[in-house]
Chains A and B, each alone.
Chain A
Amino acid sequence: MSETVKQDHAVIGKSVPKIDGREKVTGAARYTADLKFPNMLFGKILTSPFAHARIISIDTSEAEKIPGVRAVITHKDAPTLKYGISPARWDENIFCIDTVKFVGDKVAAVACIDEQTCYKALAAIKVEYEELPAVLDPLHATDEDQPQIHPEFVRNINAEIHQDFGDVEAAFKDAHYVRTDTFVGNRTYQTPIEPHTATSMWDGEKLTVYSSTQSPHYFQYYIAREFGLPMGDVRVLKTYVGGGFGGKLEPTGLEFGGAILAKITGRPVKMFYDRAEMFAHNRGRHRQYMTITSGVDKDGKILGVHADFVMDGGAYTSLGIATAYYAGAMLTLTYEFDNFRFDMLRVYTNLPACGAQRGHGAPQPRYAFEAHLDNIAKDLDIDPMDIRILNARRPNTTTPNEFLVNSCEMKACLEKAREISGWDEKKGNLPKGRGIGVATGSFVSGAGYPIYRTDLPHAAAMIKVGEDGTAATLYTGATDIGQGSDTVLCQMAAEAMGYTYEQMKIVAADTETTPHDFGAYASRQTLMSGAAVKQAGEEVKAQMLEIAAEMLDFPAVDLDIREGKVFSPGNASVTLTFEEVARHFFVNRGPLVGKGSYTPPKLGGKFKGAAVGTSPAYSFAAQVSEVEIDEETGEINVLDVWDVHDCGTVINPALLEAQVHGALFMGLGESIWEEVKFDDKGRILNPNLSEYRIPTAVDMPVVHSALVDSYEPAGPWGVKEVGEGATLPTMGCFRNAIFDAMGVSINSLPLGYEKVWRALKERREEGPAE
């Protein structure tokens, strides 16, 4: 891995230990739910037991009488302003007013002196409902006879997308071969190990919320908007976060409810979800029905693609309008073709709302496309690896939907994956029951545009060097939710300043003390927050050099700083320590501070939805997996996975590899086991970790992770993303390995043992093909 790291870096490119590793490993780290404040109350939310019902009345009087209950609130106590991702689709209230729209919809909340009392109080709230027929089947949500979920959204259509680039019909006409396949991607849930928590408190008119969030800034924005407060009077901050994966990017209801309860009681209120409540709130991956048609020439070169999707959005928009656009937009990245049409219908159902989950909208379509491509390769008798290499995107190209791709080592990734997996020796030569598959993926290194319309820079950073120079503190709004951004940003700060990582401190993700940053989503922080940090570090360094030049009476241009030493490359006798210079600076000029900010260039086309999927840079990856299938039971045994990534310059190889492993872990779970299941009343059947099966350590295959040389001109030091991109190839890769092993196609996720068993049984019953 080290071959890709430029030798002249002192701090980046090294696997320094995580800055918070000791706290986390020893259990000293305090997460939001561990925080205690004097007089703190506990709050809980009452949710709907019905998928669709009219609220006739809510009687809180009995609950209020219970000793220890301090407040009971409903929509009457809350602002009625609707919220959501974009003004056209603000469709959610803090508490339901007339109707409940899914099992788990928020109806009321209580604040009590302890948690036990909360449950008693919730049980004492009497809500009279009139149950309504519910929409549970997304494929029939738009039928005339279906109940209407939101009056403003006719026929339950939340969003309709039609994008057309080039001439797909003509491409199909010219094609040697045209094929259509349909696949289904299922509802999965992010399952962060830390449940959502928020503790809210007021100091006069100022609200402070500690939240387990991926984006303090968005929470601050949403809360200020709901309560009509200036942003400056809302402080949102986090401590440690135990994973988010997209599910902690939007308000959870705990912040809103907690703010109201804290205001009424005048006391801090801690609110949190248990595991079942997390599943009920949800915002996980959408269920998608994906029909893809492609035309190829006789060599397998892709001429045109039509993606026609339907998405089950659940009861609200959540972040789902972005998901819907991403689902199609990201299909154009890994392979080059000129003609592309994308049709999408995102429908409302009376099920929990779906939102952003690692790879945001893209992994399931990627599964569908990679499976579809293998079907084509098989029909044309082309090696799946060859068809991918033939079509692989090249650097400095533009996709049909107008994404500019700078660095791109798609082909090199495939070739390396071919080599290290032993593809050519294995393909067609594996023992019975074994198979090998390949798939690709690509993802944004930060979204080109923010979630709401604003001209704020996407990231900003500030570095304050201590008075005696023995420490420097990085202030950044970037949000470490476990992925390690605090660590890599400190590495980057030290590199830019000429300092050491070990002397760096960090204050992050606090809307009051740290400069603005949009937070952890769209794999944006290494590139975007990193660019701001680099600029701040360089500003510190420039000031240091200037004053060092004075101290040494030596031209600043002939001086440099590296790992805490000021020196002249041409004159070994000229040296000062960073501490000496920094102290001198403080004594003579006051605080030594560097600032930086980052705004991406203007990106993308002019068509409707052109913004979604734009990014300054894209990562690329190829994955090969080898599986063993039990022919009689359908059991899928994943033996090995080879992941080859083009993610630009690597800041911390160990953390990068951890991201690949983590992404693969999630991808594995979604590929084979994970599925949120519902009964015929819209209730989740498996809101727990025993029947919603994420992989365990013993389920992990052997992971071989490798890199290809790459440098991204749009990123600081040439970086781009890795966190989400690594999830993308996995589902298609396993499907293709099963296809190779057994010759059966599993056309829906999760691939599942019983599905493989059934496909094999059906094939046996049909008799041998041809």
Chain B
Amino acid sequence: MFLPDFDYHAPETLAEACDLVRDLGPSAKVLAGGTDLLIKLKHGLVTPTAVISLKALDELKTITHVPGRGVVIGARATHNDLVNSPLLHERFLSVSEAAHKLANNQVRNRGTVGGNLVNAIPSADLPPILIALDAWITLVGSNTSRTVPLHSFFTGPSCCVIDPVDEILTEIVLPDQQTTGSTYLKFALRRSGALSVTGVAVAVTMDGDTIVDSRICLGAVFPVPVRANDAEDLLRGKTWSDELLAEAGEAASCCALPITDIRGTAEYRLDLVRVLTKRALKRAITEGHV
């Protein structure tokens, strides 16, 4: 278990970082908190000759509200930055809560939002809630900058649309929105430091007891975080009731295509999707952004 030798860069500006990413090409890896990358390096799963640390880019660490854009989360914000952000507590407590369900305190102190997204494992905890809140992200290259809706960011396990030899993920934006409630339920086999067996995030827009709209995103049950469109359609415009939410749960499990692995069977995960979806909906409907 040893880190291999590599050149280490810690650029002072984003432009410098982007140039390095472009110039060093596939032989380099971007380093944020390192909670995923260092493990891969030690196991020899990736063998870069250079590592570009983002640690000097403090402008990527802030969480602010920008009128007209929404809540802007810097890619280098750590999970505990999300957990402790007064702005998130006020607007989207559900995001703080989701971050708090991730890993353990040590990892939350180091791991970043950007790393969680670019790492793109199907069981990652932040993508479902961010997708449910309709987040989009900014990818900056040496000469480019583009925005991508998060729901179309992931392309497969450990795969996403970022151009690894040109782009850096700089920010995640939660647009100003009409949603009245959101939540993320994580089901794991221990209270701390356990990856999700299944995770379900929902965001709802209510008008009294009527569900105007909803977004449901499932984690760990598909190669990428996946929207439960059938369940969303079923709910749209209806007055909510426990029976309706139970039906939505059934519909959501039809949208999942889980695998059997060391943490649980596909059969179990499908049923968890059903249960977690109805519970998450009820929470978001009755308790707001939690």
Please determine whether A699 and B190 come into contact, CB atoms closer than 8 angstroms.
Answer: yes
Q: Does residue A8 face the partner (Cβ distance < 8 Å to B)?
A: no
Please determine whether A673 and B189 come into contact, CB atoms closer than 8 angstroms.
Answer: yes
Q: Does residue A704 face the partner (Cβ distance < 8 Å to B)?
A: no
Q: How many residues on A have C-beta within 8 angstroms of the other chain's C-beta atoms? A: 24
Task: Give Cα distance in the complex from A695 to B271, angstroms.
Answer: 25
Q: Does residue A308 face the partner (Cβ distance < 8 Å to B)?
A: no
Please determine whether A633 and B275 come into contact, CB atoms closer than 8 angstroms.
Answer: yes
Task: Give Cα distance in the complex from A754 to B271, angstroms.
Answer: 11
Q: Does residue A693 face the partner (Cβ distance < 8 Å to B)?
A: yes
Q: Does residue A698 face the partner (Cβ distance < 8 Å to B)?
A: yes
Q: Does residue A553 face the partner (Cβ distance < 8 Å to B)?
A: no
Please determine whether A754 and B264 come into contact, CB atoms closer than 8 angstroms.
Answer: yes
Query: What residues of B have a CB within 8 angstroms of the CB of A274 in the complex?
Result: 1
Q: Does residue B257 face the partner (Cβ distance < 8 Å to A)?
A: no
- For residue A753, which residue of chain B has the nearest CB? B189
CB B103 to nearest CB in A, in angstroms, measures 9
Please determine whether A677 and B262 come into contact, CB atoms closer than 8 angstroms.
Answer: yes
Task: Give Cα distance in the complex from A754 to B190, angstroms.
Answer: 13
Query: What residues of B have a CB within 8 angstroms of the CB of A203 in the complex?
Result: none
Q: Does residue A115 face the partner (Cβ distance < 8 Å to B)?
A: yes
Task: Give Cα distance in the complex from A696 to B192, angstroms.
Answer: 7
Q: Does residue A691 face the partner (Cβ distance < 8 Å to B)?
A: yes
User: Scoring B residues 124 to 157 as 1 if CB is less than 8 Å from chain A, else 0, what string do you get?
Assistant: 0000000000000000000000000000000000
Query: What residues of A have a CB within 8 angstroms of the CB of B195 in the complex?
Result: 690
User: Scoring A residues 665 to 676 as 1 if CB is less than 8 Å from chain B, else 0, what string do you get?
Assistant: 000000001000
Q: Does residue A119 face the partner (Cβ distance < 8 Å to B)?
A: yes
Please determine whether A696 and B191 come into contact, CB atoms closer than 8 angstroms.
Answer: yes
Task: Give Cα distance in the complex from A685 to B261, angstroms.
Answer: 10
Known contacts: A633-B272, A754-B268. The answer to whether A685 contacts B262 by CB under 8 A is: yes
Known contacts: A633-B187, A754-B264. The answer to whether A699 contacts B275 by CB under 8 A is: no
Cβ 8 A contact of B191, one of A698, A757, A758:
A698
CB A510 to nearest CB in B, in angstroms, measures 31
Task: Give Cα distance in the complex from A690 to B1, angstroms.
Answer: 16
Q: Does residue A26 face the partner (Cβ distance < 8 Å to B)?
A: no
Please determine whether A695 and B262 come into contact, CB atoms closer than 8 angstroms.
Answer: no
CB A711 to nearest CB in B, in angstroms, measures 41
Query: What residues of A have a CB within 8 angstroms of the CB of B187 in the complex?
Result: 633, 635
Please determine whether A115 and B2 come into contact, CB atoms closer than 8 angstroms.
Answer: yes
Task: Give Cα distance in the complex from A606 to B262, angstroms.
Answer: 47
Q: Does residue A632 face the partner (Cβ distance < 8 Å to B)?
A: yes
Please determine whether A632 and B2 come into contact, CB atoms closer than 8 angstroms.
Answer: no
Q: Does residue A116 face the partner (Cβ distance < 8 Å to B)?
A: yes
CB A635 to nearest CB in B, in angstroms, measures 8
Please determine whether A693 and B190 come into contact, CB atoms closer than 8 angstroms.
Answer: yes
Query: What residues of B have a CB within 8 angstroms of the CB of A119 in the complex?
Result: 2
Query: What residues of A have a CB within 8 angstroms of the CB of B275 in the complex?
Result: 632-633
User: Scoring B residues 170 to 193 as 1 if CB is less than 8 Å from chain A, else 0, what string do you get?
Assistant: 000000000000000001011111
Interface of B is mostly: loop
Task: Give Cα distance in the complex from A753 to B262, angstroms.
Answer: 13
Q: Does residue B194 face the partner (Cβ distance < 8 Å to A)?
A: yes
Q: Does residue A686 face the partner (Cβ distance < 8 Å to B)?
A: yes
CB B6 to nearest CB in A, in angstroms, measures 14
Please determine whether B265 and A695 come into contact, CB atoms closer than 8 angstroms.
Answer: no
Please determine whether B268 and A691 come into contact, CB atoms closer than 8 angstroms.
Answer: no
User: Scoring B residues 252 to 283 as 1 if CB is less than 8 Å from chain A, else 0, what string do you get?
Assistant: 00000000001111001001100100000000
Task: Give Cα distance in the complex from A677 to B265, angstroms.
Answer: 14
Please determine whether B189 and A693 come into contact, CB atoms closer than 8 angstroms.
Answer: yes
Cβ 8 A contact of B265, one of A673, A686, A754:
A754
Query: What residues of A have a CB within 8 angstroms of the CB of B286 in the complex?
Result: none
Please determine whether A696 and B2 come into contact, CB atoms closer than 8 angstroms.
Answer: no
Query: What residues of A have a CB within 8 angstroms of the CB of B49 in the complex?
Result: none
Which of A695, A753, A758 has the largest number of chain B CB atoms within 10 A?
Answer: A753
Please determine whether B262 and A691 come into contact, CB atoms closer than 8 angstroms.
Answer: yes
Interface size, B (range): 10 to 19
CB B217 to nearest CB in A, in angstroms, measures 19
- For residue A696, which residue of chain B has the nearest CB? B192
Task: Give Cα distance in the complex from A757 to B191, angstroms.
Answer: 18
A residues 559-584 near B (Cβ < 8 Å) are none
Which of A115, A119, A633, A677 has the largest number of chain B CB atoms within 10 A?
Answer: A633
A residues 179-193 near B (Cβ < 8 Å) are none
Query: What residues of A have a CB within 8 angstroms of the CB of B239 in the complex?
Result: none
- For residue B279, which residue of chain A has the nearest CB? A632
Query: What residues of B have a CB within 8 angstroms of the CB of A632 in the complex?
Result: 271, 275
Please determine whether B192 and A699 come into contact, CB atoms closer than 8 angstroms.
Answer: yes
Task: Give Cα distance in the complex from A148 to B263, angstroms.
Answer: 33
Query: What residues of A have a CB within 8 angstroms of the CB of B190 in the complex?
Result: 673, 693, 695-696, 699
CB A693 to nearest CB in B, in angstroms, measures 5
CB B185 to nearest CB in A, in angstroms, measures 10
User: Scoring B residues 68 to 82 as 1 if CB is less than 8 Å from chain A, else 0, what string do you get?
Assistant: 000000000000000
Query: What residues of A have a CB within 8 angstroms of the CB of B272 in the complex?
Result: 633
Q: Does residue B158 face the partner (Cβ distance < 8 Å to A)?
A: no
- For residue A114, which residue of chain B has the nearest CB? B2
Q: Does residue B104 face the partner (Cβ distance < 8 Å to A)?
A: yes
Please determine whether A699 and B189 come into contact, CB atoms closer than 8 angstroms.
Answer: no
User: Scoring B residues 8 to 19 as 1 if CB is less than 8 Å from chain A, else 0, what string do you get?
Assistant: 000000000000
Query: What residues of A have a CB within 8 angstroms of the CB of B264 in the complex?
Result: 754
B residues 189-227 near A (Cβ < 8 Å) are 189-195
Task: Give Cα distance in the complex from A274 to B2, angstroms.
Answer: 11
Task: Give Cα distance in the complex from A685 to B271, angstroms.
Answer: 25
Task: Give Cα distance in the complex from A45 to B55, angstroms.
Answer: 38
Query: What residues of A have a CB within 8 angstroms of the CB of B192 in the complex?
Result: 696-699
Query: What residues of B have a CB within 8 angstroms of the CB of A761 in the complex?
Result: 271
Query: What residues of A have a CB within 8 angstroms of the CB of B189 in the complex?
Result: 673, 693, 753
Task: Give Cα distance in the complex from A480 to B264, angstroms.
Answer: 39
Task: Give Cα distance in the complex from A698 to B275, angstroms.
Answer: 24
Query: What residues of B have a CB within 8 angstroms of the CB of A115 in the complex?
Result: 2
Please determine whether B191 and A116 come into contact, CB atoms closer than 8 angstroms.
Answer: no
- For residue A118, which residue of chain B has the nearest CB? B2
Task: Give Cα distance in the complex from A116 to B190, angstroms.
Answer: 35
CB A627 to nearest CB in B, in angstroms, measures 15
User: Scoring A residues 686 to 720 as 1 if CB is less than 8 Å from chain B, else 0, what string do you get?
Assistant: 10001101011111000000000000000000000
Query: What residues of B have a CB within 8 angstroms of the CB of A116 in the complex?
Result: 2
Query: What residues of A have a CB within 8 angstroms of the CB of B263 in the complex?
Result: 691
- For residue A635, which residue of chain B has the nearest CB? B187
Query: What residues of B have a CB within 8 angstroms of the CB of A758 in the complex?
Result: 268
- For residue B276, which residue of chain A has the nearest CB? A633
Please determine whether A757 and B271 come into contact, CB atoms closer than 8 angstroms.
Answer: yes
- For residue A697, which residue of chain B has the nearest CB? B192
Task: Give Cα distance in the complex from A693 to B271, angstroms.
Answer: 23
Task: Give Cα distance in the complex from A686 to B261, angstroms.
Answer: 11
Task: Give Cα distance in the complex from A626 to B74, angstroms.
Answer: 45
In the assembled complex, 16 residue pairs joining A and B whose CB atoms fall closer than 8 Å, in A order, are: A116-B2, A632-B271, A633-B272, A673-B189, A677-B262, A685-B262, A686-B262, A693-B189, A693-B190, A693-B194, A696-B191, A697-B192, A753-B189, A754-B264, A757-B268, A757-B271
Assuming A690-B194, A758-B268, what are 5 further A-B pairs, CB within 8 angstroms? A677-B262, A690-B195, A693-B190, A696-B193, A757-B271
8 closest A-B pairs by CB: A696-B192, A632-B275, A698-B191, A754-B268, A693-B190, A699-B191, A698-B192, A116-B2
